[in-house]
Structure formats: structure tokens, C-alpha cells
Amino acid sequence: METRAGDPGAFAHFDLARVDSPAFVVDLARLRANLAVLADIRDRAGIKVLAALKAFSMWKVAPVVGQYLDGVCTSGLWEAKLAAEHYKGEIATYCAAYKAADMPEILRLSDHVIFNSPGQHARFAGEIAAARAAGEAFDIGLRINPLHAEGEVPRYDPCAPHSRLGFPVDQLEDAHLDGVTGLHFHTLCEQDFGPLERTWAALKPRIERFLPRLQWLNFGGGHHVTRADYQRDELIAFLQKVRAETGCEIYLEPGEAVALDAGILVGTVLDTHWNGIPLAVTDISATCHMPDVIEAPYRPAMLGERDEGTDEPVRLGGPSCLAGDVIGDYILPGGFQPGTRFAFLDQAHYSMVKTTTFNGVPLPSIWLWDSATDALECVKRFSYEDFRDRLS
């Protein structure tokens, strides 16, 4: 998978020795810049924008997110609770399948509860009626599958064949929308405006007859709108047109775009040796700290990386026992000796929320840096007790 992120920005001047290793460092100034772009799109297009907690849920900066956006979208009970405790604005909750035990609290916490199928919505009719009788205010949405694939990687494509995500739009009937206020679809991943425009062109004829019954349409996330070369003016004109044609409130749910290029992951070389190529073992693990490197797969950009030349690339891998815990081949001007500090770019989103302690590999600490003022704060360090208390 190719990614066009990896702009070092102010991190080009950050002293990696100022923080622990491993450590995530988030630049507050860059985060604000991303949020300002999203707010500008929201205001010019006349839509609403929710931050996707599944991608970036560093609630230390929740007050900053609340200054710019209309709320957050969540993926189940725990994220909805986090949203209610720390974030301002609306809460939209979608899960591929809800547990019955979680439903009353989800209905209490959420402004929009989005179901993955009409059957699931029908099964929770009693819980919905009870919550409304108790005075809870929320509306119901249905996630649909547009049956129009734009994804580059099937694993990340909700419209891949036999996908479980969303109700196939060719099966949608009038009765399925009884009690439903809006439709949701999420089909993109790190993509430009073109795929969204094509998806809507394919979807609109299939749902046009249902539009008079709807109050909102949620176009999900995956929009790389804070990337410098994204076609923002075209997106805004498109969103204005959709609002006018449908009469619906339009939502976007950016996740990665909120924290794009706003964070790095700092690590240290622990050991080096040779096995046909130069190898380095680091305190950063792909499987524990950057699982998308293996799952996508993709090669993360490195701060200060040099193009191939006379030096031979060094293959970097993590300290875990997984043979495939390999990050990639890199060249740094100073080389990779034990003790060398380095950093991977664009690691604030998804990496932070996906970390694990497999093999007892320590979790990176979390730091907040404001490149505008140079203020630096350690937000959280993880201990052995954090590892121990997840087990039994």
C-alpha cells in the first residue's frame, strides 16, 4: 500500500533525545492546522464534521478537537463512553454488530446510533422504545454498502466482495427504512476526491427514491482532506451540490485526516549484525507498535531518511519473537549503530490506538509537543503494571 503522508514538518528540527524511547510525539500546532482545514471545509460546504476516535483518540487533546469540529464518531460502547467523558458535540456510534448488554448505554450516550443491517435494527426495537420512553434523545441510521469498490487493498475495502460491512444497497427496501433517519457509508482509505465522487455517482441512483424520507447522509471517513494536494475546492462544491439535491444534512467522519503528519514514533537501535544484508534490531516493533506495516502492508517514512546511494540500506526490525516483525530497509546519513535515535513519520493516527504488549514489549510513552512554542509534555508513560494488569 502506498501512502502519500510523511511530511516531517516541524519535526525536522525536533531533538529526538528530548523524549523516551520508544515514544509517540504529537505536534499540537500541526494538529490545530489539520483541524482548521476540516473546520474550513465544514463552514464553506455547510456540513458537519465528526472526528473518528477509532483512528485518533488521544483524549488529552479533546478540548482542542472540540474547538473546531462538531463532535466525534465511535465504534462501540467503550469509545462512546470516552466520547461522553471527554469530547464536546455530537456522538455518532456505529458497530458492525452490537451486544444486547451494551445497547441501553449506547442509546443513552449517542446522538446517532447506526446499525449495520435492518435485521439488527429490528432486533433492538424493544431497547430503542424503552430508551425513548425513558427520555433519551437519539436517531437511528443504517449503514449501507454502495457495492462500488474504490479501495486499493481488499483488507481495507468495505466494498470488497462478500464484505460484512454495510447492508448491500441492492437489497434495500422501503420497509428497511422504517424508523431510520439517515444512511451511512464508509468506503474510502487515504483517498482523494475522485473516489468519493465516483462512489456517490454509483450510489445516488440506487437510493434516490428513499431520499425524501431521510434527514442526513453520512459519507464516513477515508478522505485525505488535510493533505496539501487534496482537491478541497472540488470537495466543497460537491458537498454543497449534494446538500442542495438531497435536502439532507451531510456528515464527514475524518480520522486519519485529523492527525495526518501530526505525530512521530521515536525509537532506538539496540543491536546490529549481518545476515547477507545489514540488520538492526530496534525497540520499535512493527507487530506491537505499527501493525499496519504488516497488515496493509506499507513502509513508513523515516525522519531524515536518505535516498539510496553508495550506502547499503539497513533492515530494521523489532525486538519481538515474530520472524516477520520487520519494518523495512532504510538509510540514515549517520548510519545505524547501537544507541542511534531515529523516528518514523505520520504515526499519530492508527498506530497509537493499535499498540499491543505482545511478548511483553513495552508500550511507547506519549508526548505532546507544540512546535509553535516548543512546549513539551509527557502525557503518559506505561509501566510493567499496565502489562501485568491486562493479564490474569
Amino acid identity at 164: R
User: What is the structure's pLDDT at 20?
Assistant: 96
Neighbours of 137 (CB within 10 A): 10
Backbone angles phi, psi at 245, to 5 degrees: -75, -35
pLDDT tens-digit profile of 206-221? 999 999 999 999 999 9
What Cα–Cα distance (Å) separates residue 219 from each residue in 216, 315, 340?
10, 40, 44
Minimum mean pLDDT range among 151-160, 238-247, 359-368, 374-383 = 151-160
CB atoms within 10 A of CB 190: 23
Domains and CATH numbers, the chain: 9-24+262-388 (2.40.37.10), 46-259 (3.20.20.10)
Cα–Cα dist 244/216, whole Å: 12
Any idea how long the chain is?
392
- pLDDT-derived band at 14 (thresholds 50, 70, 90) equals very high
Nearest by Cα to 165 from 113, 109, 114, 224: 114
Long-range contact set of residues 127-131: C-beta below 8 Å, sequence gap at least 24: 127/100, 127/103, 128/179, 130/104, 131/104, 131/107
Instruction: Compute φ and ψ for 349, nearest 5 degrees.
Output: -95, 145
Q: Measure Cα distances from 189 to 253, 268, 283, 293 in Å.
A: 12, 30, 29, 15
Indicate the pLDDT class of residue 152, thresholds 50, 70 and 90: confident
pLDDT at 249: 98
Identify the H or E element spanning 375: strand 375-380
Query: How high is the pLDDT of residue 1?
Result: 66
pLDDT reported for residue 6: 80
Gap between the Cα atoms of 5 and 260, Å rounded: 7
Give dist(CA 186, CA 218) in Å, integer: 8
Q: How far apart are CA 50 and CA 53, in angstroms?
A: 9
